[in-house]
Amino acid sequence: LIQIEQQGGVRLLRLNRPEALNAFTAAMLGQLRQALEAAAMDGATRCVLITGAGRAFSAGQDLADPHVAPSREAGAAPKDIGHMLDHYYIPVALRLRSMPVPVVAAVNGVAAGAGANMAFGCDLVLAGESASFLQAFSKIGLIPDCGGTWLLPRLVGRAKALEMALLGDKLKAVDAERIGLISRVVPDAELQDQAMAIAQKLAGMPTRALAETRRALDEALKLDFESALKREAALQSQAGFAYDYQEGVAAFMDKRKPEFRDR
């Protein structure tokens, strides 16, 4: 359900249920979580790249999955679909945000519901021209999950966040880029190569500093300005003791390519 490939320092994870537009099942989310855990543990992996097999990135929760599909039998008790979030989605969403390496999403087609919000939780989001993003939840009587309520207003502001969440309509990749929801749109035929090139570039960078950068940005959202300045100073102080800072400055002075190794 998750295809794993290693290309140099990049661990490529491909959501692999193309016959169901890579809609998530419990088993698939379990495998995704394990794959992220393994990448986090592997010292040779310095960037994770996530994409989808086939024509979609992910259609979100598989609505035919018995864990969440409401029973059609008269009198059947409703299911607690919150379990699926607690046990399968939240661990993945949290792990994406706390990986010791940068995480890039290459959105190769439609990303709906949890599929869209998983992508938005990645550090850089590239999309092919034919890709699209939709919240979808409101169409089936749900609210955005997998961090949608937190991520959307921060990425695009309240007005656009509510437009996407309430209407649930498809947003084309170019429009997603225009409103600052994703990093870049590229021609479909170039998506995989360009995403891999960016992932390889990140893999050659000072990994630990990149992960700390994400952490500092996320933490700053909760702080006032002065507290953020002090938090930056504390994290910067740690970065200054690390090998990669010594190497980065030495390489700059020597006019050579740095060889970073902290992780």
To ligand LHQ, the closest distance from the beta carbon of 24 in angstroms equals 7
Closest to ligand LHQ by CB, 21 vs 101, is 21
Handedness of CA 31, 36, 38, 44 (dihedral sign): positive
Please report how close the Cβ of residue 226 comes to ligand LHQ at its closest, in angstroms.
38
Which of 175/262 has CB closer to ligand LHQ?
175
**Least CB distance to ligand LHQ at residue 131 (A):** 11
By beta-carbon proximity to ligand LHQ, the closer residue of 111 and 216 is 111
Minimum distance between the CB of residue 61 and ligand LHQ, rounded to whole angstroms?
Answer: 3
Q: Kindly tell me which of 113 and 128 has the beta carbon lying closer to ligand LHQ.
A: 113
Residue whose CB is less far from ligand LHQ, 93 or 210: 93
- Minimum CB–partner distance for residue 83 and ligand LHQ (Å): 8
Q: Strand pairing of 124-128 and 184-186?
A: parallel
Listed in sequence order, the residues at least 6 apart from 129 whose beta carbon sits closer than 8 Å to its beta carbon are 173, 174, 185, 186, 187, 188
Shortest distance, CB of residue 144 to ligand LHQ, whole angstroms?
A: 9
Half-sphere exposure of 70 (CA within 13 A, CB side): 8
Angle between helices 225-241 and 207-220 (to 10 degrees): 170
Q: Which residues would be at the binding site for ligand LHQ (CB under 6 A)?
A: 20-21, 23, 59-64, 68, 81, 84-85, 89, 110, 112-114, 134, 136-137, 140, 142, 145
Q: Which is nearer to ligand LHQ, 84 or 104 (CB)?
A: 84
Q: Is the Cβ of residue 161 or residue 210 nearer to ligand LHQ in the bound state?
A: 161
d(CA 207, CA 47): 8
Alpha-carbon gap, residue 194 to 197, rounded angstroms: 5
Q: In 3-state terms, what secondary structure has residue 62?
A: coil
Sign of dihedral through CA atoms 169, 146, 2, 261? positive
- Residue 220 structure tokens: 């700053």
Among the listed residues 96, 109, 100, 62, the one whose alpha carbon sits nearest the alpha carbon of residue 81: 62
Q: How far is the CB of 171 from ligand LHQ (least distance, A)?
A: 11
CB 235 within 8 A of CB 215: yes
